[in-house]
């Protein structure tokens, strides 16, 4: 990075917390954004597309250093975008499966920490006191904090069912 400093106006790197929004804000008409591949502009397809539009709206161009393709040429721009999408499909920046599971579990545990217990939620969800309410109104009750309609149906079941085994209709 130190070698490129004198040659470039600024170097934006995700690892240093400088993202695409900072890059776009700093652009002036006629500037060139030089990237190794267009896929490095953002981590998602939508992000790449938005960044490309914003860069072109500032009357700037994107140049790939590895291929010398320029986004002002439609054919090059299409090839650059297709390569970026292919790069995202097999993204080398993605976490390994083991780490992704670990971090996903940590995020889920954090979400569950702010939610009332299943027993408390069941008491509200199945209560005859709240039968006249819609699902949205029932979910707004303090005993249903952090619960969504889908998770309530999945984990607790439909509202208002009687407890125990159904009676014979004889």
The whole-chain average pLDDT of the chain stands at: 81
Quote the CA–CA distance of 148 and 108 in Å, as a whole number: 14
Least Cα distance to 126 among 150, 144, 148, 111 occurs for: 144
Q: In terms of domains, do 81 and 103 share one?
A: no
Q: What angle do CA 131, 133, 139 make, to 5 degrees?
A: 105
106 in Cβ contact with 114 (< 8 Å): no
3-state secondary structure of 40: helix
Question: Does residue 170 surpass a pLDDT of 70?
Answer: no
Domain that holds residue 73: 14-89
How does pLDDT run across 28-67, given as a tens digit for each residue? 888 888 888 888 888 888 888 888 899 899 998 888 888 8
> Which of 89, 117, 132 marks a domain boundary?
89
Q: Scan for tokens 């006191």, then name that residue.
A: 129
Give the CATH number for residue 54. 3.40.50.1390
pTM for this predicted structure: 0.48
């Amino acid at each position: 990075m130190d070698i490129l400093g004198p040659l470039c106006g600024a170097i934006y790197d995700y690892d240093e917390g400088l993202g695409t929004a900072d890059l776009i804000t700093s652009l002036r008409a006629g500037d060139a954004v030089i990237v190794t591949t267009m896929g490095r502009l953002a981590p998602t397809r939508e992000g790449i597309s938005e960044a490309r539009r914003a860069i072109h709206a500032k009357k700037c161009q994107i140049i790939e250093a590895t291929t010398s393709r320029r986004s002002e040429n439609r054919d090059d721009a299409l090839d650059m975008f297709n390569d970026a999408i292919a790069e995202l499909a097999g993204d080398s920046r993605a976490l390994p499966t083991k780490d992704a599971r670990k971090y996903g579990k940590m995020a889920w545990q954090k979400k569950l920490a702010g939610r009332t217990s299943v027993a408390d939620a069941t008491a509200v969800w199945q209560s005859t006191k709240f039968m006249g309410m819609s699902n949205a109104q029932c979910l707004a009750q303090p005993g249903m904090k952090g619960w969504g309609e889908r998770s309530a149906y999945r984990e607790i079941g439909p509202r208002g069912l009687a407890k125990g085994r159904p009676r014979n209709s004889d």
